[in-house]
Amino acid sequence: MAGFVKFLEGISEIFGGKLQGCLVFLLMAMVMVEVLARYLLQSPLSVAEELGGYALVSITFMGLGYTWKERGHVRVELLVNLLPLKWRARLRFVTLVMAAGFCVPMIAGSWAMLQDSLLFEARSGSWLRTPLVYPQSLLLVGSLLLLVQFIAEIMKATGRMDGKTFSGDGTAPDPDRGD
Amino acid sequence: MGDKMKHGLLGMVFILLVTFAADGFCTDTHTLKFAWNDIWGPKFRASQVYRPLGEMNRLLYEKSRGRIRMEIISKMFPSGELFQAVARGKADGGDVAMPWLSGTYPIWNWGEIPGIVNPDPVKGLAEELAVYNDDTVRKIYDATLAKYNLKFWFVTQWDPANGIWSNKEITTLSDLKGMKIRVGGYLPTKGVKSLGGSPVTIAGSELAPAMMAGTIDGVLTSLGYGYSIGLGKVSKYFTTTPLSPTWSAVTLLNKRWFDALPEDLQAIVMDTGRELQQMVSLSTTAEYIMSLDAVDLSGVTRTRFADSEQARINEAAALVEKEWLNVDGPWKSKRVELLTAVKAAVDAYRAFDGK
């Protein structure tokens, strides 16, 4: 099971973490080139606003699962930290299952949006006329990546309730981290 | 309680039941669930017709003698989703800003072709309205919209986004060369390029600050809207161009809802649409003329290209027209037919001499 959890987290790491990290640099470079072209060449590329928007969507949605893995989402731990470890693990399992359940309407909503865009042949209104199905598919993939991360987290939480830990992968309960 | 009183009460209950039954079951009343977004408040000329108990509501009710009733819901869907909402039948009718969909459906944005109607909005609005009243044009709209289960109802015209707000006087195309002009939409971008400007895309909320900071040298938008967002305070000139001579929203109906109406009600709905589009057109024209005074008083000088530039402007316009005909998108093959019908309708309007 530890191998499988590692595999799932690897997916989050690559697609939600490293790839999106590269995108942040690409976004920065694109805005810089756009500004330079505007001021120095008097001939802007006129792509930064639109492509920058898509990049932000990608960084946000594709990074949802990775951010969860890295404990980057906002959490309120005031009461949870008062519980004994055993109860904390149980509560974590329940909340993880609920969070995974939340992914279902999110995936369904993203899928419905994609279906609409395909049916109505939607494109952006800019001069690029980007088929919207491409940037919108980031929402679907991002939601799926989040679900993948939740599956990994649920497996880890199950192990913790059984008293198991995944040594070396940082999943042992740690009160200081709010586990 | 006496028998007479009991019979009296029973009688009253019976009359009430019969009245409700007649109202609910025996008459063929139809409800038009209408979606629009009241984002501009009362200054949005179409809000006067769209608002609950407004002209659209009233005219449909009166003309159909109460057989068509309306449920008007503002902000039922985001503006960008109204087209799909009406097509899917989530609403029976809706106000769709076609220029926002120009990237997806170039065919219904023929109004962005430079010179398609007179660049002077007072004349251009009337010519555009003549196009939307033309039977051939309406048939092409219906034939193309039917693919998405939609039916053309009427148009709500805005003043066109056809002027450049700038601090530099523009009278020749050489003046425009290299100027960074903020522009929105596919065809207007091509238009600015073909006239020699450098199109820039920045968020609509940043126009006046971007002008002040020198990020851009000009903004292509309408006189009224530009003034309302403060461009009059950061610009010295407003130059009327042949670009984007129209900016209109189209009010669409769900085709299945419309087809389910009896023929007499269908005729009433369409007649009402023609009446409403006439109202909005005149309101927009009057508002545009009043905006001229406001802009003049604010100290902005209104200019236009010199007549000597006309030949080069026509060349640029022809390039954009060619682009519109050839750009990928639904109904590419129908565009020639529509363009011919539009030009014929404009010519017919111009040919009127009252004799």
**Band of pLDDT at residue A169, cut at 50, 70 and 90:** very low
Q: Which residues of B are less than 8 Å from A126 in CB distance?
A: 103, 184-186, 189, 201
Give the residue with greater pLDDT, B255 vs A41: B255
SS3 content of chain B, % helix, strand, coil (to 5): 55, 15, 30
Residue B202's pLDDT is 85
B344 min Cα distance to partner chain A (Å): 28
- Decide if B150 contacts B87 (C-beta within 8 A): yes
Best residue of B168, B187, B198 to probe chain A, by most A CBs closer than 10 Å: B198
**A46 — phi, psi (to 5°)?**
60, 35
State whether B203 and A49 contact (CB < 8 Å): yes
Over residues A21-30, the mean pLDDT reads: 96
Residue A45's pLDDT is 82
Name residue B303's beta-bridge partners.
B239
Closest CA to B102 of B208, B9, B191: B191
Within 10 angstroms of residue B349's Cβ, the number of other Cβ atoms is 19
For chain A, percent of residues with pLDDT exceeding 90: 61
- Decide if A74 contacts A178 (C-beta within 8 A): no
**Band of pLDDT at residue B67, cut at 50, 70 and 90:** very high
List, in order, residues 6 or more apart from B287 with CB less than 8 Å away: B45, B159, B224
- Decide if B153 contacts B138 (C-beta within 8 A): no
For chain B, percent of residues with pLDDT exceeding 90: 76
- Decide if B216 contacts B180 (C-beta within 8 A): yes
Q: What is the DSSP letter of B226?
A: H
- Decide if B60 contacts B24 (C-beta within 8 A): no
Residue B178's pLDDT is 87
- Decide if B109 contacts B147 (C-beta within 8 A): no
The number of residues in chain A equals 179
Residue B289's pLDDT is 94
Within 10 angstroms of residue A61's Cβ, the number of other Cβ atoms is 23
Tell me how far apart the alpha carbons of residues B50 and B59 are, in angstroms, rounded to a whole number: 11
Pick from A44, A123, A130: CB nearest B180: A44
Considering only alpha carbons, which residue of chain A is nearest residue B101?
Answer: A125
Exposure class string for A22-55: b at 16+ Cβ within 10 A, else e: ebeeebeebeeebeebbeeeeebebbbbbbbebb
Give B104-156 pLDDT, tens digit per residue.
Answer: 999 999 999 999 999 999 999 999 999 999 999 999 999 999 999 999 999 99
Give B173-183 pLDDT, tens digit per residue.
Answer: 999 998 999 99
Give B320-336 pLDDT, tens digit per residue.
Answer: 999 999 998 889 989 99
What 3-state DSSP class applies to B36? strand
**Band of pLDDT at residue A164, cut at 50, 70 and 90:** low
Q: Does the pLDDT value for residue A170 go beyond 50?
A: no
Tell me how far apart the alpha carbons of residues A58 and A20 are, in angstroms, rounded to a whole number: 7
**Band of pLDDT at residue B16, cut at 50, 70 and 90:** low
State whether A42 and B185 contact (CB < 8 Å): no
Considering only alpha carbons, which residue of chain A is nearest residue B179?
Answer: A42
Tell me how far apart the alpha carbons of residues B320 and B316 are, in angstroms, rounded to a whole number: 7
Give the residue with greater pLDDT, A160 vs B193: B193
How buried is A76 (Cβ within 10 angstroms: 0-12 exposed, 13-18 middle, 19+ buried)? Answer: exposed
Tell me the three-class secondary structure of chain A, residue by residue: CHHHHHHHHHHHHHHHHHHHHHHHHHHHHHHHHHHHHHHCCCCCCCCHHHHHHHHHHHHHHHCHHHHHHCCCCCCCCCCHHHCCHHHHHHHHHHHHHHHHHHHHHHHHHHHHHHHHHHHCCCECCCCCCCECHHHHHHHHHHHHHHHHHHHHHHHHHHHHHCCCCCCCCCCCCCHHHCC
The winner for highest mean pLDDT among A135-149, A150-164, B5-19 is A135-149
Considering only alpha carbons, which residue of chain B is nearest residue A39?
Answer: B215
Chain-centroid distance of CA B242 in Å reads 18
Residue B18's pLDDT is 60
The winner for highest mean pLDDT among A163-167, B4-8, B57-61, B76-80 is B57-61
- Decide if B242 contacts B115 (C-beta within 8 A): yes
Residue B204's pLDDT is 81
State whether B103 and A116 contact (CB < 8 Å): no
Residue B17's pLDDT is 64
How buried is A141 (Cβ within 10 angstroms: 0-12 exposed, 13-18 middle, 19+ buried)? Answer: middle
Pairing of strands B247-254, B180-182: unpaired
When the pLDDT of each residue in chain B is averaged and rounded to a whole number, the result is 91
**Band of pLDDT at residue A175, cut at 50, 70 and 90:** very low
Residue A168's pLDDT is 41
Q: Does the pLDDT value for residue B32 go beyond 80?
A: yes
- Among A48-52, A84-88, A133-137, A161-165, the range scoring the smallest mean pLDDT is A161-165
Tell me how far apart the alpha carbons of residues B165 and B218 are, in angstroms, rounded to a whole number: 5
A129 touches chain B (CB under 8 A): yes
Gyration radius of chain A's alpha carbons: 20
State whether B199 and A44 contact (CB < 8 Å): yes
Side-chain half-sphere exposure of B41, counting CA atoms within 13 A = 1
Pairing of strands B247-254, B198-200: unpaired
**Band of pLDDT at residue B203, cut at 50, 70 and 90:** confident
- Decide if B50 contacts B36 (C-beta within 8 A): yes
Q: Does the pLDDT value for residue A126 go beyond 90?
A: no
Q: Does the pLDDT value for residue B23 go beyond 90?
A: no
Q: What is the DSSP letter of B25?
A: I
Chain-centroid distance of CA B19 in Å reads 42
Over residues A77-88, the mean pLDDT reads: 88
What is the residue whose two structure tokens read 């369409």?
A: B270
State whether B199 and A116 contact (CB < 8 Å): no
- Decide if B85 contacts B91 (C-beta within 8 A): yes
Over residues B69-93, the mean pLDDT reads: 94
Q: Is the dihedral of CA A123, A128, A133, A136 positive or negative?
A: negative
Q: What is the DSSP letter of B332?
A: T
Tell me how far apart the alpha carbons of residues A144 and A25 are, in angstroms, rounded to a whole number: 24
Pick from B186, B190, B201: CB nearest A49: B201
Q: Does the pLDDT value for residue B283 go beyond 50?
A: yes
State whether B103 and A123 contact (CB < 8 Å): yes
